[in-house]
Structure 1
C-alpha cells in the first residue's frame, strides 16, 4: 500500500497516511534518519531531494486539505494550455470548509507559492479524473480569467485556450452558465461570444466547401433600413443571400446537446427568408454540431436566388 501511495502522489504523503501504513514510530525513524523529509506541518516527502514540479502540486493540494483541487492557470497548464504563469500554484476548495492554512505555513524554499481560492460552486462535472485532482480545462480557464490581473489578460487566457484547441467556446460558456458570480463574468462572456462567432465563421466556410456550395464573401459591409452601417458574416452577392453567425448565448449553451426543438424553430424562421430576402441566421453551435442541416438551408436559399449547382 505504501508503494502505491508513493507512486500515485509522487512521493508526497500526509503524516496521517504514513502513520496508517507504517505506524508512528517507523515514520519518526525515517524522518530522523534523513531518508524521508518533513515538508511542512502534516506533510512528508518519501525521499530527501528537492521538490519536483509534480511534487509541488501534490504538496499544494494535500496542504489545502480534503476536497482541494488544482485550479485556474495551474489546472489549465496541466491540461496542456501554454503561455500561462506557472506560479503561484492555484488551489480551489469548497467554501463550506476552511483550507488547511497551518499546513500552508512554513513551506520550504523549494516550494512554489500557493494561492488558495474558495468557491460555493464546484459540481462533479467540473472535476477532471487525474492525479493530482484538478478542475476540467473549461472551468480552469474561466477561473484563471476571473483571477487575472486585468481584463486584457482575462481575454488572452480565454482566447489562448480556444486557439490551442484545448477547449471550445461552448464548453467555456457551459461552465460560465453555472457560475453567476464569477469574477470578470461580463468580460469572459464577451470573449466567449466573440470566439464562438469567429470559429462559427470558419466552420461555416468549411461546411459550405464540404457541401459543394460556392464560397461566400466574408465580413461584407451592409446598411440596414435605418441607414446604420453593419457587416454580414457571409454574403453571396450574385444571389443576394446573406448569413449571420451568432455567438454563444445562454439559451444556446443550455440546450446545445438536445437541439431538435431549436433546429425546428430556426428552420421555420429560415424557411421564410429562403422565399423572401434570403437573410439567414445561424448560432455558432448549430454550424458546429449540425453542418449538414445548415448547408441544406443555405443551398435552398441559393437556389431560390437563382444559383445553379453547376455554377
Structure 2
C-alpha cells in the first residue's frame, strides 16, 4: 500500500489498480509530463481518454473492471457477475463481457467501441433508478451483492447457470435469500423472476448446493416426501457435520456428491461420515450430482425403495 505521505497520483493509481482517465492524470501532472510517460512506454494508452500506468501487457481482472467503469463514464457502476466477484463471490465463473449500469438518460460512451483486443467487451445497461441500498462503494463502485446476483441470474446464459450463481452466493454466506428477495421485489420486470424465487425458496429451506436443490425438486415432481433439509450433527470425533438431505421421520440420509468428492482426502472423509451415519442406525444413499440431473428415474426408484423400506407409504 502507498505510504502515509503518498502523493495524490500514487493514491489514485493504488485505488484504481493503475487505470485512470486523461482528466485524472492531468489533474495531478502536466499534459506534457503525461505525454512523455506515454511516449517512453512507462504508461500505456488504453483508448482515447483512458490510460494505464504500466507498460504494454495483459490486464488483470481488477484492471478490466476499472477500464469498464471508467470507459462507461460518469455514474457508471460495475454490475452482474463481475460485481459479484468484486464483492467476494468465489468460483470458476467466466464471462465474456463486463456489465456496467449507467443512468437511463446517458448514452453509451464512444470509448467502449474502441477498447483494444485482449479486454472483455463491456456491456452497458441503462437503468431508470438504482436505489442507494442497491449500490456499494468499492474499487470500483458496484452494485450490492444481492443486486449483483439478481442481475447475474437474469443475464445468465442458462437457467442452470442462474441457479448456480444464486446458490453459490448463499452457500458462501455472501448474501441471504431474504436480501435477494428484497431486491427482486424492487424489480418487477426482472427476467427469470419465477426461477429466482423458486431457487431462493429451496435455498431458504436448507438445500444449499444446486445438486441438493435439484434433489428437492425431483421429490416434489414424483410425489415423494421432501427432505427436511440440511441436518447438523456431530461425528464420533465431535466435529460438526452437515447432511445434504435428511428425512428425519424415516431415518434416511442422502448425500449428493459433487466434483470435490473425487479428491482422495475428501473421499476418505466421506467414507468416515457415512460410517458414522450407519452406526447411528440411519439408512444412507449416495448419488452423484450428474445422476440427480441426468438419471432422475434411477434416483427416484432408489429413493422410493429406501423410504418404503423405512416405513413410508404413498
TM-score category by the smaller chain? 0.5 to 0.7
1:117 alignment partner, SS class: strand
Listed as ranges, the matches of 1:272-283 within 5 Å are: none
Listed as ranges, the matches of 1:1-311 within 5 Å are: 1-50=8-57, 51-78=59-86, 79-100=88-109, 102-198=110-206, 202=229
Q: What is the rounded CA distance, in whole Å, between the counterparts of 1:48 and 1:62 in structure 2?
A: 19
Q: Is the 2:104–2:126 contact (alpha carbons within 8 Å) kept by the matching residues of 1? A: yes
Q: Deviations over 1:148-207 (max 9, x none)?
A: 12223222221222122222111110111111111111211121122222369558x66x
Q: What is the rounded CA distance, in whole Å, between the counterparts of 1:82 and 1:175 in structure 2?
A: 23
Q: Is the 1:87–1:113 contact (alpha carbons within 8 Å) kept by the matching residues of 2? A: yes
Q: What is the rounded CA distance, in whole Å, between the counterparts of 2:118 and 2:246 in structure 1?
A: 53
Q: Is the 1:144–1:154 contact (alpha carbons within 8 Å) kept by the matching residues of 2? A: yes
Higher relative contact order (CA 8 A, sep 6+): 1
Q: TM-score, normalized by length of structure 1?
A: 0.62
Q: What is the rounded CA distance, in whole Å, between the counterparts of 1:139 and 1:81 in structure 2?
A: 17
Gaps of at least 5 residues in structure 2 are 1-7, 209-227, 233-244, 251-314
Q: What is the rounded CA distance, in whole Å, between the counterparts of 1:55 and 1:47 in structure 2?
A: 11
Q: Deviations over 1:222-264 (max 9, x none)?
A: xxxxxxxxxxxx769xxxxxxxxxxxxxxxxxxxxxxxxxxxx
Backbone CA RMSD of aligned residues: 2.6
Distance 1:80 1:4, change over 3 A: same
Q: Is the 2:229–2:246 contact (alpha carbons within 8 Å) kept by the matching residues of 1? A: no
Q: What is the rounded CA distance, in whole Å, between the counterparts of 2:21 and 2:153 in structure 1?
A: 32
Q: CA deviation at 1:71?
A: 1.0
Q: Is the 2:20–2:52 contact (alpha carbons within 8 Å) kept by the matching residues of 1? A: yes
Q: Is the 2:89–2:169 contact (alpha carbons within 8 Å) kept by the matching residues of 1? A: no
Q: What is the rounded CA distance, in whole Å, between the counterparts of 1:121 and 1:179 in structure 2?
A: 10
> Would you say how many aligned residue pairs link Structure 1 and Structure 2?
212
Q: Is the 1:40–1:105 contact (alpha carbons within 8 Å) kept by the matching residues of 2? A: no
Q: TM-score, normalized by length of structure 2?
A: 0.61
Structure number with bigger Rg: 1
Aligned residue number for residue 251 of structure 1: none
Distance 1:218 1:23, change over 3 A: same
Q: CA deviation at 1:53?
A: 1.8
1:115 alignment partner, SS class: strand
Q: Is the 1:81–1:166 contact (alpha carbons within 8 Å) kept by the matching residues of 2? A: no
Q: What is the rounded CA distance, in whole Å, between the counterparts of 2:92 and 2:27 in structure 1?
A: 41
Q: CA deviation at 1:218?
A: 6.3
Q: What is the rounded CA distance, in whole Å, between the counterparts of 1:81 and 1:135 in structure 2?
A: 17
Gaps of at least 5 residues in structure 1 are 207-216, 220-233, 237-311
Q: CA deviation at 1:64?
A: 0.7
Aligned residue number for residue 287 of structure 1: none
Aligned residue number for residue 280 of structure 1: none
